[in-house]
Structure 1
Amino acid sequence: MSYKKIKAVVSDLDGTLLTADNRIGAYTRKTLKTLHEQDIHFIVATGRHYLDAKYIRDSAAVPAYLITSNGARIHDKNDQLIYRKDVDVDVVKNITAMLKDDSSITLNLFTENAWLASKDYADTDKYHPDSGFTYQLFEKAAAPAENVAKLSVSHPCGDYLAKLEKSIISSFSGRANIYLSTPTNLEVTAAGTSKGQALQIIAQRHKHKLENYMAFGDAMNDLEMLEMSGFGLIMAEGQKRLIKRLPDNEVIGCSADQAVAEYIQKHLL
């Protein structure tokens, strides 16, 4: 596979493209601008809500597709919605019922225009320093079940959440995609929904082959897009579970050092 055949670059945000202060660094912005000038598509693929990801993409001043909520939404470079897939209503209802009496977890729902959270977060501002995107509190007993792009469960104890992951997979495998995006955050999207599946939709739109795509990620919700792309690069701080699943994929530097931009500069520009 030749770097010269690359048609598009796709990158996760947190732990990948963004620096430690949750912004796109100046070196990365410059790199993405040059990438655009060379007619190579850029695609953001994130678990974040569309409204949040759009602000981050716009701060780079580069046209880009947005794959958000782990593939549940795709917006084109002009912010037109071209794909959406919600979590099955029964799955949302049953997971919410399963967790409604567990006061130790925080339940999050991404609806079309909002992020709903069952408890306050102490440090949410640091993840959204410029957009100001934030949650609205809701009662788990009154959780909406329709138009949910993504459901996530947060818990400070990784072991506790790992046990919960097994329980949810046991009950809903085949009816939903379930990821530990971090050791303390479990995410649920519709069955068959992933960043990789969304990337395939974009590639087909442009009559591209995914073997001519370069992807960067760090977590299990990046697994499919890293598997499906011709070049799937894993960040140095990537989840051990991800690195174990993809032992042949190259591991690059750290997001704090803008390693995605460095790799693009070295191999594509």
Structure 2
Amino acid sequence: MQPHLIVSDLDGTLLGADHDLAALTIDTLRALAEEGHGLCLASGRHHRDMVGFRDRLGGAAHIISSNGAWTLDAAGQCVRSAHLRPEQVEMLLGLPRPSEVRLNMYREDAWLIDDHAPGLLALHEATGFEYQVAPTERMEVQGVGKVLYIGEPRLLATIEAAAREAAGDALHITYSMSHSLEIMAAGVNKGSAVSALLDDLGIPAERCLAFGDNLNDLEMLSLAGEAHVMANAHPQLAQDLPGATVIGHHAEEGVARCLRRRFGLADERHG
């Protein structure tokens, strides 16, 4: 069998409702790696937050983090990065925003936030990754892969409109969840990062299986030869990708069960 590249988003896709990897998922991806297939975790998360998941898969997975701003090889070395320009970061930090909207920044080695938001940490309990609180005026504008705003959708819509008016096509703007507005440099997205990784590995897009659940997965799913949308996905995603296959729910190991059928792995029962 020719090797494939299996690429999956994390939250809402590969991870369960507890934002962690299920035993069936770990067993399935380890088995496929042992058969010679490539693995890639592609997420809006910071790469330091993703390393723990990769290690539990046997350390064989590539990492695409911050929606494509950084790519790490299976050995954990950064092979590609794309940062916002400092003046773009300054503009984004200066956009008017309501006090209840949290401004976040992903730099090479840290997740910065403008004020405490304990509820966000629940998403990262499985990895222990935590933010560092920093006043906006003290946030470093160099080496920033992603700026994100977290808040109510109606409030984020106003910030999105202001960013688009200020920067036009010079930014890539998307949502990883309805309450998470994510902004990278133009051309930076999971799709462009996966395309570059496929070139690195010498695997054609036709042999790429991709899995996702939200709008920041659109470009990645669009290029994959076999695109899969979760049952719990954002409704717009399936509409934009009529050729994609809708599979099971992320809380029911939908990705693992799909892969076991696709590659003929023996059925395994897990608790």
Give SS of 1:173's match.
helix
TM-score normalized by the length of structure 1? 0.94
* CA offset digits 1:17-68 (Å, max 9, x no partner): 0011111100001101110111010110001001000112112224110000
Q: State whether structure 2 residue 176 is matched by structure 1 residue 181.
A: yes
Corresponding position of 2:89: 92
Q: 2:150 aligns with which of 150, 154, 157?
A: 154
CA contact (8 A) 2:41 2:61 kept: yes
CA separation in 1, counterparts of 2:2 and 2:36? Answer: 12
Letter in 2 for 1:121: A
Question: What is the Cα deviation at residue 87 of structure 1?
Answer: 1.0
CA contact (8 A) 1:149 1:189 kept: yes
Corresponding position of 2:60: 63
Question: What is the Cα deviation at residue 180 of structure 1?
Answer: 1.5
Give matches, 1:87-236, under 5 Å. Answer: 87-99=84-96, 102-155=98-151, 157-236=152-231
CA separation in 2, counterparts of 1:259 and 1:146? Answer: 39
* CA offset digits 1:203-246 (Å, max 9, x no partner): 11122211110000011111111000001111111112222221
Structure 1 runs not aligned, ≥5 long? none
Structure 2 runs not aligned, ≥5 long? 265-271
Aligned residues: 264
Q: 2:71 aligns with which of 59, 74, 87?
A: 74
CA separation in 2, counterparts of 1:213 and 1:6? Answer: 9
CA contact (8 A) 1:175 1:190 kept: yes
Question: What is the Cα deviation at residue 131 of structure 1?
Answer: 2.0
Give matches, 1:254-265, under 5 Å. Answer: 254-265=249-260
Letter in 2 for 1:10: V
Corresponding position of 1:239: 234
CA contact (8 A) 2:8 2:210 kept: yes
Question: What is the Cα deviation at residue 6 of structure 1?
Answer: 5.7
Two-structure CA RMSD over aligned residues (Å)? 1.4
CA separation in 2, counterparts of 1:230 and 1:190? Answer: 26
Question: What is the Cα deviation at residue 122 of structure 1?
Answer: 2.4
Give SS of 1:151's match.
strand
Letter in 2 for 1:129: E
CA separation in 1, counterparts of 2:124 and 2:42? Answer: 17
Corresponding position of 1:16: 13
Give SS of 1:150's match.
strand
User: More displaced, 58-67 or 76-85?
Assistant: 58-67
Structure 1 residues 160 and 27, CA, compared in 2 at 3 Å: closer, same or farther? same
TM-score normalized by the length of structure 2? 0.93
Give SS of 1:86's match.
coil
CA contact (8 A) 2:231 2:248 kept: yes
Give SS of 2:144's match.
coil
Question: What is the Cα deviation at residue 121 of structure 1?
Answer: 1.3
Corresponding position of 2:44: 47
CA separation in 2, counterparts of 1:87 and 1:187? Answer: 12
User: More displaced, 222-231 or 116-125?
Assistant: 116-125
CA contact (8 A) 2:95 2:162 kept: no
Structure 1 residues 214 and 121, CA, compared in 2 at 3 Å: closer, same or farther? same
CA contact (8 A) 1:174 1:191 kept: yes
Letter in 1 for 2:220: M
Question: What is the Cα deviation at residue 174 of structure 1?
Answer: 1.4
Give SS of 1:52's match.
helix
